[in-house]
């Protein structure tokens, strides 16, 4: 059963803004958490700060769907993919590799 993942709206806006201003280039980075809550986006990094745990790895796909490439997934880790390939709407989807298959996770944005 997939868990419902919750991200604070200010963090989601920061991630989507970073993807938008980097276009047409892609971005990547990590989302750090404290107490299990996603708190910070670290663009261009592969690791979180010392007092954080890894919540997700993130990639943007400026001209493709928000579906991860096989190379973007690590077994058991959460991956976020941002797509700019939509008309007027930015899209962010969550994925987890399980048993060799990418499974989409429910991602909700909270105020």
| CB 54 within 8 Å of CB 30 | yes
Domain boundaries, the chain: 4-110
Query: Across the chain, what does the average pLDDT equal?
Result: 92
pTM of this structure: 0.91
- The confidence score (pLDDT) of residue 2 equals 64
How far out from the chain centre does Cα 64 lie? 15
| CB 68 within 8 Å of CB 83 | no
**The CATH number of domain 4-110, selected from 3.40.140.10, 2.30.38.10, 3.40.50.720, 3.30.70.3280:** 3.40.140.10
Residue 75 per-residue DSSP state: B
- The confidence score (pLDDT) of residue 101 equals 87
C-alpha 34/C-alpha 97 separation (Å) is 23
């Amino acid at each position: 059963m997939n868990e419902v993942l919750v991200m604070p709206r200010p963090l989601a806006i920061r991630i989507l803004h970073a993807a938008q201003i980097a276009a047409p280039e892609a971005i990547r980075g990590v989302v750090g958490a404290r107490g299990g809550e996603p708190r910070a986006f670290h663009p261009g990094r592969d690791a979180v700060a010392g007092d954080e745990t890894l919540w997700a790895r993130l990639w943007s796909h400026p001209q493709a769907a928000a579906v991860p490439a096989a190379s973007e997934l690590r077994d058991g880790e959460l991956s976020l993919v941002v797509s700019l390939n939509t008309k007027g709407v930015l899209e962010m989807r969550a994925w987890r590799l399980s048993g060799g298959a990418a499974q989409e996770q429910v991602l909700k944005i909270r105020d």
